[in-house]
Amino acid sequence: MLYLTEPGRLGELFPDEPKYRTDQLTEWLYTHPVLSAGSMTNLPLSMREKIGSEHWPFSLDIEQSADSGRTKKWLFRCTDGSPIEAVLMGYATRTTLCISSQVGCAMGCSFCATGQFGFDRHLDAGEIVAQVAYANAFLAETPLPRSPERVTNVVFMGMGEPLANYGNTIESIRRMTETMGMSARSITVSTVGFVPGMRRLIEEPWPVNLAVSLHSTIPSERSKLVPINDRYPIADVIDAAKDYYETKGRRVSLEWTLIAGENDSDEEAIGLARVARQIHAHVNVIPLNPTPLSNDVPPSHDHIRRFIGTLKREGANVTLRDTRGKDIDAACGQLRLRSEA
């Protein structure tokens, strides 16, 4: 499995080949990825044949398309049958890939399909970075309409809590930046408030973006939506986010999945704006993409407007995020849910 081997050790898999061959292979895997080894045109046939089924650490199980072809959702199957979800979204100036860091998730957020499955295993760094490579290989053959033909932004917002799989997340970021050549500033690590990981991330050399899923500022409410709040209380999460901003100079974003009757009150909007002002954060409000495993629904359009209006009046910088791919189960864990139903 080529991506499961660190780039610097690929030569060990091909002991009879000169070093420049593994340099060429590294380029095909990371810099100019291709969907099949047959397209690695400057490698000898014997090497391409050996790569064959060892090329990707997963196979494509389901591909769905939405938003006039500008959103693609993939469900991959690892060799052990584990599912991985990734969503590719094309915009005028960026092509963003949402990737998974774990199979399932132990955090158990009440509104999230992945959380309802529980935790299976961590993804290896190679299984994480291969999602980005696959997207670039796909785009080289089939660009999304009116969007950059390469992944310009990566967000760790698919299945899993990336900071609970710290070593593999960091190694995947190392490969994205050092081997693929991506800017760390175009990578966003999203956490539900895993404080030890947030603190370790402050010490890393890369200025990646940090997104913190807050969902409520009222501790008892937050614990209902995000049970890890019992272990890492919101005050500690906000402290760590503030330290991240002050040390890295990168503005943190606060993610807020808006759920009717749960976290859409004026009191919540005022509390969220207060936190955003305190740590100079940007707020992203995402109306809930409902899952069949829960009765939660998003608020009405009028109510969403009112919530956003209150945030703005209270001095928060806020963006209402579109919910791409609503018709293809694009919220994390939903494609897996469909495939296993």
User: Which one of the listed residues 17, 78, 85, 105 is annotated catalytic?
Assistant: 85
Nearer to ligand SF4, 1 or 297 (CB): 297
In whole angstroms, what separates CA 306 from the centre of its chain?
29
Least CB distance to ligand SF4 at residue 101 (A): 9
Least CB distance to ligand SF4 at residue 148 (A): 27
Nearer to ligand SF4, 90 or 325 (CB): 325
Least CB distance to ligand SF4 at residue 331 (A): 9
What residues line the site for ligand SF4 (CB under 6 A)?
Answer: 105, 107-109, 112, 114-115, 159-161, 192, 332
> 105 an active-site residue?
no
CA pair distance 60, 80, nearest whole angstrom: 14
Nearer to ligand SF4, 192 or 285 (CB): 192
CA pair distance 243, 198, nearest whole angstrom: 9
Least CB distance to ligand SF4 at residue 161 (A): 4
Least CB distance to ligand SF4 at residue 38 (A): 36
Nearer to ligand SF4, 109 or 180 (CB): 109
Answer for the pair 169, 189: CB distance below 8 angstroms, yes or no: yes
> 112 an active-site residue?
no
Greatest pairwise CA separation for the chain in angstroms: 67
Q: Of 225, 292, 283, which Cα lies nearest the Cα of 251?
A: 283
Nearer to ligand SF4, 107 or 276 (CB): 107
Answer for the pair 281, 251: CB distance below 8 angstroms, yes or no: yes
Buried b (16+ CB within 10 A) or exposed e, 219-247: eebbbbbbbbbeebbbebbbebbbebbee
CA pair distance 326, 328, nearest whole angstrom: 6
* Nearest residue (beta carbon) to ligand SF4: 115
Helix, strand, coil abundance in the chain, percent, nearest 5: 45, 20, 35
Computed from CA positions of residues 261, 264, 266, 272, in that sequence, does the dihedral angle turn out positive or negative? positive
> Which residues are known catalytic residues?
85, 332
